[in-house]
A = this chain, B = another copy of it.
Amino acid sequence: MKIAVLLFEGLTALDAIGPYEVLARLPGAELAFVGKERGDVRTDNQILRLGVDRTLDEMPAADILVVPGGFGERRLERDEEVLSWLRKVDAGTRITASVCTGSLLLGAAGLLRGRRATTHWSRMSRLAEFGAVPVAERVVRDGKVATAAGVSAGIDLGLALALEIAGRQVAEAIQLSIEYDPAPPLDAGSPARAPEAVRAMVLQRIESRDRA
């Protein structure tokens, strides 16, 4: 089972690493990190380098496609090379998936028209630009398209896909392997429960960065 995870300049690392850490453990998984050029990409904060081992041309098809988000996603919405690759790969996937603002890139490629989808809570209104129906859930499935909410939601996405593809026991074994028994010391991970001042602070920071 071929799994392609797209990497690009300015991605958010955990968007990609969450689903990778789950899906790479599926029996028979051949997971590759794919990008415009072989080499490295830097994350949104310029701190981490992640290695791209295959070019888009070298990975023209996959059973599962995973598209992460991050501030660098915005630029790709007008990158015809990436958009046409997404359309080509999507045509043959079993599951096309995204994490965070990766769904906006799927949208820009025309893959979310009329579909229910999610993204980072702060960017939810942008989904309508691409004809998608915004849904504020952790993982949203519409046909073969699975979109996850912000950043850390990619772990839940990965497990949902593992359950579907390999069944309960394998998915449970993966969850236990990565000891995914979350215990956040605070309860501010959802915009519905975070204090209003915190929500405003995060929103302002994201919007100023997204416009830059």
Q: Which of A50, A53, A182 has the most CB of B within 10 A?
A: A182
| Most chain B CB neighbours (cut-off 10 Å) among A156, A160, A179, A205 | A179
The residue in chain B whose Cβ has the minimal distance to the Cβ of A169 is B198
Can you tell how many copies of this chain the complex includes? 2
How many residues of A sit at the interface, in one of the four size bands? 35 or more
Quick check: B182 and A184 within 8 Å, CB to CB? yes
Cβ–Cβ contact B194 & A189, under 8 A: no
Q: Are A176 and B151 in contact (CB under 8 A)?
A: no
The A interface is mostly helix, strand or loop, or mixed, namely mixed
Chain A 161-180 interface 0/1 with B at a Cβ cutoff of 8 Å (1 = within) = 00100001101110111111
> Interface with B: A17-25, A72-80, A90-98, which one?
A17-25
Q: Are B198 and A172 in contact (CB under 8 A)?
A: yes
Q: Determine if A47 is an interface residue (Cβ-Cβ < 8 Å).
A: yes
Closest to A183 in B: B138
